[in-house]
Each structure stands twice: as C-alpha cells, then as structure tokens.
Amino acid sequence: MAQEKFTFQAEVSKLLDIVAHSLYSHKEIFLRELISNASDACDRLRYAALTDAAPTGGDADFKITLSVDKKANTLTVTDNGDGMNRDDLTEVLGTIARSGTQAFVDQMAASTKDTGKKKSKDAKGGDDMALIGQFGVGFYSTFMVADKVEVLTRKAGDKKAWQWSSDGKGEFTIDEAERDARGTDVILHLDKKEKEYLDPARIEHIVKQHSDHIGIPIILKGDGGEDGDKTLNTASALWTRPKKDITSEQYTEFYHHAAHAFDDPWMTLHNSVEGVLSYTNLLFIPSTQPFDLFHPDRKAQVKLYVKRVFITDDCEGLMPSYLRFMRGIVDSEDLPLNISREMFQHNPQLTKIRSGLSKRIMGELKKKANKKPEEYADFWNNFGAVLKEGLYEEPENREKILGLARFKSTTQDGWTSLEDYASRMKDGQEVIYYISGEDADAIAASPHLEGFKAKGVEVLLMTDPVDDFWLPSVGEFEGKAFKSAARVGADLDKVEDVDIDKKKDAKKDKAGKAIEPLLAQFKVVLGEAVKDVCASERLTESPVCLVTGEGDMDARLEKML
C-alpha cells in the first residue's frame, strides 16, 4: 500500500503553531502527556482482557518504556497497550474531535496579542496553560520540542502495523509499517535546541515530578553499558495511599494526568468509604471552566476502577449530569470486574455510590461556601449554572442545591444566597421576587422593577437559561414562593414603606376612578393582542409595561422553546 498524505483540519494547523510557541516556559509537559496517553492505552487493553485474553497474546505485563538515541537525536515513548489502526490514526491524530476547536484557536490567538501591559514569561505561560487546559490538546505539545514526530503502532489483535508522521506544519502521512507486537512507539526527532531531553537525569526528574503516580511501570532504557534499565516511578495507584503521605503537588500532578488538564484543581476530595459498600474516590473540581461544559454530549470525566483495574471513563450512572464538571477516579471493591455498560444504569451498588458521591461533593461545597465565600464565588462563576440543573433533575437533592445557589440582585454588589435574601425581606413581603433575562445590567434597568426599587424591595436577577426551567418546578424556598417581577400579580400592596404609602393613600382612590375610562379605551384598541389592561403601583417613572399572565410561560422560556 502506497504512502498516503493528509492535511490537518484547518483549525488544527493553526492550533499546532500556537501551542508550539505558547508554552515556552512549560515545555517538559510534553512527556507527561505522552506518558498519560500510554497509560490510558494500557488501561484500555487490561480491561478488554478481562473478557477476552486473546488481544494480549499472553503478554499482560504492561509497561511504558522511554528510550534515548543521542546519535539520532530522538526520544521514544513506547507502550504495549491497545495500539491503533489506520482509522484510529486518522481520527485521533489527524483531527480534534471536539466542536470547540476554533473557539480554542481564537482564545489562544487573542491571548498572544500585545495588550499594552508587560507580562512576565511565567505569567504569560500560566495564562496559556489555563487556556490549553480547557481544551485538552496534549499530544500536540510534542511539537514544542520536536521538528518531526513519528507514531509507529499496531492495534491489539491486528497483523498490520502503521506509521504516522508529521512535522506539524499542516500535513501528515500514514503508511504501512512493521512492528513485532501490539502497542505504540511515539518517536520525537528533537529540535537541535532541545538536547536536554536526551539527558537521562533530566528525563528521570520530569517523570518523578509529573508522572510518579502512574500505576504502570515507567522504564528508562539503559545504554547497554554500565547503566541498565531503570524504573522511574513508584507505579502504585495514588488513591490507595494514606492521605497524610500525599503532598498537594502529587494531588495536582494526578489531577493533570486523570483530567488531561493544565490548570490546578480548585478542590480535591479524597475519601474512602468502608462498610456494606466499600469504595475510594479521588475527585477534583477544576479551577477553570471546560470549553464544552454545556455541550449536549458532555459527561463527567470520572474514571471507574474496580479493585484498581480500570473499567471505563464513560459511566453515566456514576455521576449525575449536573456534576459533569467533576474529574478524577472512583475505585470500588464490590462491583464485579466484568460489569458491562448495560449494567451501569441499573446496578444498585453503583446507584448507592453515585448518591454517596453527590452527598459528599455538595457537603464539601457547603463548607467552602460558609468558610470562604470569596473562593466559593469563583466556583459559582464557573459551574453554578450547571449545578442548578440538578434542581429539576434530582428533586431529592433540591434543598441542598438551593442552599448552595448564589444569585445577583438589585441591592447587593456580589453574589447572595437565598437564605441571606430571606433575611433581608421587607415587612409584609411574603415571596421571593426575581426577574429573568440574558443580561444582568439590562434586566436591572427594566421598568418592571421601578416599584420594587422605590420600596427598597430586593429582586434576584436570573440570567442563566437554566433558571427558566427550574423555577416553575421548584416553586419555593423554605416556604417562600418564587414570584417573577415581570408577571401579573407581582404588586407590592402588602409591603410596608411608610414614607411612600402615606403619600399614596391620599391619592389612591381618586386616581383609581380617574383612570378607569383610559383603561377601558386601551382594552378596546388593543383587543385580543393582550389579555387585560390594568393599573399597577409597580411603575413609578414609565407609563406602561408588559407583564406575563398568571399561568402563562415566562417570555424568555417561550422564546427559547
């Protein structure tokens, strides 16, 4: 078969150039990413071998090998995992199968422009790292140090091997090749300026810093002389170690590996549950929002293990969708090793694990919200809209989520909780008022709020699209109903404001009678275009406003549907 030449996706070509020139202060992460990919390949095959040992060919001794060739100026990362075929190479290395690639390129390009402010290299690198962490483009970091990358691979169970090759400048080739066994070699032809990555001591330092927690042995091949092969990592699952023996740096590096992320975790949850049901979780909440958080296919990136054996990273029953920002692992002692994907949805043990994880996560969020509200505000900015999906998805956790929810309002500068809102309610106020719309500043200036401002009544500003879905189903908080300020009946007759009420009482009856002919004329002119025309005390400056009828769908929800 003749060699085939392909062109990268247009966005990938731009991305390769941006990544290769943006992480100059963090180049060594390319090795972490390659080791992480190799570990995943071994995990996938180890799981497949639980039900069919044939693909392993009797070799279940998984390992990752690093080889240096100073004469050829190459560094090679080898694994004996599941390998790839031609289609895999085209799909995995020729494209980025994510809808937000162009958005990533745009953000990265914007971040490299001169803003007129001086930034240190470390600071700039940190910004880029955070951006790349949102999109996960680890393999392409190899072009920071290599002017050519080759991938020699053979899929487990196949007889054919394939070679992928690219200089990262827009094209790649795929050709048939020879490889004795399954697995993958990633061969980096290093740039002349990157000879440090041929130094065994430098390689060992990088592995110990970034990949010591990998559960598969990472072996540095000797040169055939006095120095023999050397295992560089402890090769034990981090989550099985006592928490007191794990440093924050080790947790962070594990997060980078498990989530393929570049940011640091905002929160780490490492717990073991023992009893009728035993499991360990090592979970993380990111400090940055993933770009595809609201994509329809987005799921929690939490890997399921059973007795330290990787099972799947696509277990829908493990984490509710409103916690899909979570990253990490769950290791069960009780689930069967041969659990099938069909069993995920209906396994009672998995349901209990899911319930326990949800309870613990929300409990830790509650502690953070109470003790460090400023830090919690960062979480809410990133993930609050997603968490609120749980208000209509899981009624059993509704009260917990309402307690965690934060909102902007007409009287507060920052975020406020429903509990704090309730404590500030005016005498005579019986409901929690809100108004929804796309922009907080725009809805805060709405004529619907004039009367509320005049009486000093606080109104919550609901700007997330999800708000229009959960509000009708939730209905109330601690006995206080939610009421839209843009809905009929949201008048403030019972709310006391002595200064205003005294002035109004004298004129109220007289004005009411005087306006009746005008209201009647409006009804005639408008006809069936409106349900009713009535006088209201909610307006203090504007002559008129439109409100939603009782029982009708809110205007924004109607527009979305």
- Has residue 112 got a pLDDT over 60? no
pLDDT band at 560 (very low <50, low <70, confident <90, very high): low
Euclidean distance between CA atoms 112 and 525, whole angstroms: 59
Cα angle: 284, vertex 285, 289; to 5 degrees? 140
Q: Report the first-to-last Cα separation within the chain, whole angstroms.
A: 53
When pLDDT is averaged across residues 486-513 and rounded to a whole number, the result is 61
pLDDT attached to residue 291: 79
pLDDT attached to residue 372: 97
pLDDT band at 528 (very low <50, low <70, confident <90, very high): confident
Lowest average pLDDT, out of 18-27, 259-268, 274-283, goes to: 18-27
SS3 for 472-506 is HHHCEECCEEEEECCECCCCCCCCCCHHHHHHHHH
* Chain length of the chain: 561
pLDDT attached to residue 207: 94
pLDDT attached to residue 270: 98
Name which residue leads in pLDDT, 461 or 491. 461
Mean pLDDT of the chain: 83
- Has residue 460 got a pLDDT over 50? yes
pLDDT attached to residue 29: 84
When pLDDT is averaged across residues 516-539 and rounded to a whole number, the result is 77
Q: What are the distances in angstroms from CA 323 to CA 336, 383, 385, 401, 404?
A: 25, 9, 11, 11, 13
- Has residue 102 got a pLDDT over 70? no
pLDDT attached to residue 374: 96
> Based on the number of CB atoms within 10 Å of its own CB, is 132 exposed (0-12), middle (13-18) or buried (19 or more)?
buried
Residue 272's closest CA among 200, 332, 362? 332
The answer to whether 19 touches 144, Cβ cutoff 8 Å, is: yes
pLDDT band at 122 (very low <50, low <70, confident <90, very high): very low
Residue type, 530: V
Name which residue leads in pLDDT, 501 or 97. 501
Question: Dihedral, CA atoms, 41, 45, 48, 54, nearest 10 degrees?
Answer: 150
% of the chain surpassing 90 pLDDT? 47
Name which residue leads in pLDDT, 341 or 413. 413
Q: Give, as one character, the DSSP assignment of residue 45.
A: H
Residue 537's closest CA among 455, 462, 466? 455
pLDDT attached to residue 438: 86
Euclidean distance between CA atoms 433 and 410, whole angstroms: 11
pLDDT band at 175 (very low <50, low <70, confident <90, very high): very high
Which two three-digit tokens encode residue 234?
Answer: 């402890």
pLDDT band at 51 (very low <50, low <70, confident <90, very high): confident
pLDDT band at 254 (very low <50, low <70, confident <90, very high): very high
When pLDDT is averaged across residues 368-393 and rounded to a whole number, the result is 96
- Has residue 215 got a pLDDT over 60? yes
Euclidean distance between CA atoms 538 and 454, whole angstroms: 9
When pLDDT is averaged across residues 513-522 and rounded to a whole number, the result is 76
pLDDT attached to residue 288: 92
pLDDT band at 417 (very low <50, low <70, confident <90, very high): very high
pLDDT attached to residue 114: 47
Q: Which residues pair with 7 in a beta bridge?
A: 171
Assign residue 527 a region: left if phi > 0, alpha if psi is -120 to 50, beta otherwise? left
pLDDT band at 416 (very low <50, low <70, confident <90, very high): very high
Name which residue leads in pLDDT, 162 or 214. 162
pLDDT attached to residue 4: 86
Euclidean distance between CA atoms 497 and 510, whole angstroms: 21
pLDDT band at 272 (very low <50, low <70, confident <90, very high): very high
Other CB atoms within 10 A of residue 429 CB:
19
- Domains of the chain from N-terminus onward: 4-235 (3.30.565.10), 239-377 (3.30.230.80), 407-561 (3.40.50.11260)
Q: What confidence tens digit (pLDDT) does each residue in 222-242 have?
A: 875 556 899 999 877 899 999
Residue 77's closest CA among 132, 15, 149? 149
- Has residue 116 got a pLDDT over 80? no
Q: What are the distances in angstroms from CA 483 to CA 74, 442, 542?
A: 67, 19, 21
